[in-house]
Structure 1
Amino acid sequence: MKITDLLKATGIELNPNVKTKSEAIDKLVDLMSLTGNLRDKDAYKKAVLERESLSTTGIGEGIAIPHAKTTAVKNAGLSAIVLKDGIDFDSLDGEPAKLFFLIAAPEGENNLHLDVLARLSTILMDTDFKNKLINAKSKEEFLSLIDSKENDKIKEQNNKEQKSGYRVLAVTACPTGIAHTFMAAESLENKAKEMGVSIKVETNGSGGAKNVLTKEEIKNCECIIVAADKKVEMARFDGKRVIQTKVANGIHKSEELINKATNGTAPIYHHEGGASEEGQDSGEKEGIGRQIYKHLMNGVSHMLPFVIGGGILIALAFLLDDYSIDPSKFGSNTPLAAFFKNVGGTAFGFMLPILAGFIAMSIADRPALAVGFVGGALANAGGSGFLGALLAGFISGYLVLGLKKVFDKLPASLEGLKPVLLYPFFGILLIGFIIVIIVNPPVSGLNNAINGFLAGMGSSSKILLGALLGGMMAIDMGGPFNKAAYVFGTASLASGQFDIMAAVMAGGMVPPLAIALCTTFFKNKFTKRERQSGITNYIMGLSFITEGAIPFAAADPIRVIPSCIVGSAVAGAVSMAFGCGLRAPHGGIFVLPVISNPLGYAIAIVAGAVVGMILLAILKKRVEE
């Protein structure tokens, strides 16, 4: 959409009788009303003034662009006035404003007002063009000048992108693909815009890859930033300068990453394990622990949809069944319950093979997928469960890497047989022997011992375990501690320890909720912007998206993190004390009906959130605005 699509002659007035900022806003709102874009003129004006109270829209250089996004707007639009002599508009540079544009955007227009604002600001930076607008003799000339300038700018941008594309490309990905993925993308995009660097970011989220990088873009870019905690497709970057780092660095170190991407110091990436230029890895040096974590998270991220979908369906089966018919067949007594339990159980049964398969694939690429899948299935059937599947995934991956080295010595004419015959045959044969003969006997014995220990834990011990796991969920809010507790919780589902998963999710829901409550009831501890952001944390917390607390934790870690840890520990402990059980590893408040003892679980979450809120309110200092 172009500026001239939104600005009409009826919304323009040249040199009206306006002497003050208030009169200028009144005139602009009146013109906007004349265009027919408003549902409620008074409500829109109130929204404009509220936006103005946050910070002046007098951007300097004689320009002011007030704006508002509200339900009082029917259709997106612009109005404009010119005051040759200028007026005081509280502009950032203290100079009088002469050229005024008012933007109206309806709710749900995907930040249309920000797009128009950015385009207006860009073309108005041309002093000659700005002066031509101020001296325009008619509305028609005013519109013609804008249309011509915008067309030139679009043509210039198109030519630039056709010639060079984007300077920097990026890929962001986290294990669950819910929060970190998109926060890192936004941080990189905002910082690149601030630095004047063209960038395109591909997000590998829970809904699949979006804004996918093209071959041409990869060919023409200077460097690719891969900020990911799980496996992403890397073969396409062979021969390019690549920075590989954690997704958290994409959020917190975006400027550092973009500087490295544009100064020519990033190493060249070679796929299939080749050494990178200057003997470095492609990006920061990854330790063994980091590599293991990354492979594990790739398996967990692919496993979650099966566990979540299957777990909720199984939980519904118990919710809909009649226990009194046959207690020994509870969950399958009625046809409807049996249907849910059968479908859910089938999905749940893929949990361990998928986990092992995608861990293996992360290590040795596609040839290892089948080997890991079979290894996970054998571990599941042999009683070694989650631990056995973990071992099967890692063993399968490194086994296939070994097979690749062995088969590298074969003639080139047999290259096509490797992925379809040699890797699957020898890989599955060897992993079958390893899992059935070597892994299953001791690991199944260890599993039985662990399950027996957990089942035999007294109530006080379980409360301590719940507090520990709940607290871990708040330590780094999506980092290794959080993921360790979460993986332990999902592993407990396979062994029937549903109370552990309940404590883990309760602990993960508390940090955003505690912050949201604190911003609501202790407003003087937060800035206006923080209070506005706090509202979204209600949704994040109720949806079990712990990462909603990250911006607050990053801004004030000394006070926020300890408060959240204590609150989460309380929630985990109370959940255990009430004997709450959860068969699905996600869902937040939306799966409350299928949680055993839902009232007790709600009390646990409220208790943890309130404790976290009170501690945070005590620790936070009063904000002077």
Structure 2
Amino acid sequence: MRIIDLLNENGIDLNGKAASKEATIKRLVDLMDESGNLTDKETYRKAVMAREEEGSTGIGEGVAIPHGKSPVVKEAGLAAMVVKEGTDFAALDDEPAYLFFLIAAPEAANNLHLEVLSRLSTILMDEEFRAKLIATTDIKTFLKLIDEKEQQKFGSETKKEIQDSGRTYQLLAVTACPTGIAHTYMAAESLENKAKEMGVTIKVETNGSGGAKNVLTAAEIKAADGIIIAADTNIEMARFNGKPVIRTKVADGIHKPKELIQEMLDGKVPIYHGTDEQSAAASSSDEQESAGRKIYKDLMNGVSHMLPFVIGGGILIALAFLFDDYSINPANFGSNTPFAAFLKQVGGTAFAFMLPVLAGYIAMSIADRPALAVGFVGGMLANTGGAGFLGALLAGFAAGYLVLGLKKVFSKLPASLEGIKPILLYPFFGILIIGALMVFAINPPVAALNAWLSMLLNNMGTSSKVILGIILGGMMAVDMGGPVNKAAYTFGLASLATGQYDIMAAVMVGGMVPPLGIALCTTIFKNRFTKKEREAGLANYVMGLSFITEGAIPFASEDPIRVIPSCIIGSALAGGLSMFFGCTLMAPHGGIFVFPLVGSPFGYVIALLAGSVASMFMLAVLKKPKTDQSEELKIA
């Protein structure tokens, strides 16, 4: 449902008068009624006021979006009002509101009002756009501005609308990162913004943790001049057969959008030829990926599928210890009480999938679906055979290349046997051979290596562990979600699986510091940053506390020489202090939300604060005050 479809000229007032909050809402309800959307405006007004009692819908920046859901609403609609002199609406930033949108949704409309609210909030984040809406005196212009902005931000609503309007895109893109959280969407935003700046139309599909969004249609792919793939995991490629395709890492989508777009516009990009299977096997000539890059993508494909099992299961196991009573039976700690036993059973079941899923999806990334079962079995054998995380990694790669070899061997069979290959030949011979490899070749030496590493870590003195914490904490800030960061995090996961909980604590606190240090610096040393940077800094409080290191990337991209060293120093300090205070963490993710599960929580908070403050001060020293900010700060 598009915003422009919900607005009626009779429901828009561009010359509203300043009044109390109640009077403003009454005027908006009157406009909604004049649009013909209500059967009983008083009942609807009470629904809107009841929503306001839960919390103000004045979202700040001069905008308020009151809303109500009621049986008296005939059909979904919007009313809009501009109060040019501003009015007090108890907004979250305590500033007057100038721009009002009232949302009405029928009782049976599910979460339609939330979808409209989300869209409005998104387009109204643009300060220049808000100013244009407030300044306009013509209703048709007001509607046109909203329509253009919504089209720009969200594109056409459906495939049919695209076909009906004849709208096509010059370029298409797909972004994806291993965790599917921050890098995916930052790369999409970077490509969209740079394309707009260059006068190029682009649509970006995001393959995030919640699945693919803004999915590219067959019609769009056919009409586009080319496709940019900025991804660190494998994606569906067969749909791009016969089109010019650039394949690169997700970081390039964030840092080099102009170069990628220009390369496509210059017409120097080779045509992609291949199926998903060929793509996975790296047999198409136009990929031109290095061996290291290919290995990293295959590894990250396994890690990205593994993380939900690790995080969900790991936190449940940690909660089992939190809610258990140690005194009942120390030997059975974690399962002494029924509730704790339930948490540990469910969490342990989920956590047990970690190694098979890791190996299975590494193998699938290499040799497509026929390798999945072979990889799963290899990962399970690594789990039961003591080879652990490292063994599962080796099992995944061994299974993938084993299946590639089987494909070549069986390619000489008659075409009439093609159907039995994936259901009989590949799984039977693949599982048999990977079983022999794991039991006789991989598990024994890797299990011995794991035992030696575990003994080494257990026998480490405080000073050695502090050094390890400094190294791991610093690694978390080197590339903030990139290969070095992921290497430290996967080491933490592997240690978590073997009971080295202090390592996971150092890794997580090191990853929390970069966004928090930047956020503190933008708050306390405001004259080092532009207004836009200060606003972005506020979001870093949430990202840092949630253990999303990627929040620091926009700042690191703009000023890497100053930002990255500052973050590394703070993260290394935090990791070292976490080890020094003997902090432990049994949960593999969660940031501040899993602090109740931290061992030595007081020391952990000290480590986090010390690292964040150190990053803040170092960044403040390295960054010079912006000479043109004084007047802006007075206004702010």
TM-score if structure 1 supplies the norm length?
0.80
Partner of 2:435: 432
Q: 1:455 aligns with which of 458, 462, 476?
A: 458
Partner of 1:489: 492
Which amino acid is 2:521 matched to? C
Partner of 1:357: 360
Structure 2 CA distance for partners of 1:477 and 1:114, relative to 1, 3 Å:
closer
| 1:185 and 2:188 correspond | yes
Contact 1:235–1:271 (CA under 8 A) maintained in structure 2: yes
| 1:110 and 2:118 correspond | yes
Structure 2 CA distance for partners of 1:577 and 1:239, relative to 1, 3 Å:
same
Partner of 2:255: 252
How far did 1:240 drift? 2.2
Contact 1:69–1:106 (CA under 8 A) maintained in structure 2: no
Structure 2 CA distance for partners of 1:537 and 1:460, relative to 1, 3 Å:
same
Q: 2:526 aligns with which of 523, 526, 534?
A: 523
| 1:568 and 2:604 correspond | no
Deviation sequence 1:527-566 (CA, Å, 0-9, x none): 2221111111100000000000111111111111111101
Match of 2:118, SS state, is coil
Partner of 2:90: none
Query: What does 1:130-529 align with in structure 2 at a 5 Å threshold?
Result: 143=140, 163=166, 165-272=168-275, 281-282=285-286, 285-529=288-532
Partner of 1:554: 557
Which amino acid is 1:374 matched to? V
Partner of 1:592: 595
Match of 2:212, SS state, is strand
Contact 2:237–2:279 (CA under 8 A) maintained in structure 1: no
Contact 2:12–2:79 (CA under 8 A) maintained in structure 1: no
Deviation sequence 1:98-127 (CA, Å, 0-9, x none): xxxx85457983352775899x98xx9xxx
Name the CA distance, whole Å, in 1 between partners of 2:225 and 2:548: 35
Name the CA distance, whole Å, in 1 between partners of 2:164 and 2:256: 26
Deviation sequence 1:77-115 (CA, Å, 0-9, x none): 25599xxxxxxxxxxxxxxxxxxxx85457983352775
Partner of 1:5: 7
Query: What does 1:33-72 align with in structure 2 at a 5 Å threshold?
Result: 68-70=62-64
Name the CA distance, whole Å, in 1 between partners of 2:321 and 2:248: 44
Partner of 1:60: none
Contact 2:64–2:99 (CA under 8 A) maintained in structure 1: no
Name the CA distance, whole Å, in 2 between partners of 1:322 and 1:332: 9
How far did 1:269 drift? 1.6
Contact 1:7–1:77 (CA under 8 A) maintained in structure 2: no
Match of 1:467, SS state, is helix
Bigger CA radius of gyration: 1
Which amino acid is 1:596 matched to? G
Name the CA distance, whole Å, in 1 between partners of 2:169 and 2:582: 54
Name the CA distance, whole Å, in 2 between partners of 1:70 and 1:599: 41
Q: 1:601 aligns with which of 599, 604, 611?
A: 604
Deviation sequence 1:590-616 (CA, Å, 0-9, x none): 011112222221221111111111111
How far did 1:70 drift? 3.8
Q: What RMSD, in angstroms, separates the aligned Cα atoms of the two structures?
A: 3.7
Which amino acid is 2:178 matched to? P
Name the CA distance, whole Å, in 1 between partners of 2:357 and 2:12: 62
Match of 1:482, SS state, is helix
Name the CA distance, whole Å, in 2 between partners of 1:591 and 1:365: 36
Name the CA distance, whole Å, in 1 between partners of 2:178 and 2:289: 18
How far did 1:223 drift? 1.5
Name the CA distance, whole Å, in 1 between partners of 2:520 and 2:489: 24
Contact 1:473–1:485 (CA under 8 A) maintained in structure 2: yes
Query: Which has the higher mean CA deviation after the structures are superposed, 519-528 or 215-224?
Result: 215-224
Structure 2 CA distance for partners of 1:72 and 1:383, relative to 1, 3 Å:
closer
Name the CA distance, whole Å, in 2 between partners of 1:270 and 1:304: 32
Identity of aligned residues (%): 61
Gaps of 5+ in 2: 33-47, 50-57, 69-77, 85-97, 104-113, 630-636
Name the CA distance, whole Å, in 1 between partners of 2:12 and 2:442: 78
Query: What does 1:117-128 align with in structure 2 at a 5 Å threshold?
Result: none
How far did 1:7 drift? 4.5
TM-score if structure 2 supplies the norm length?
0.78
Which amino acid is 1:249 matched to? D
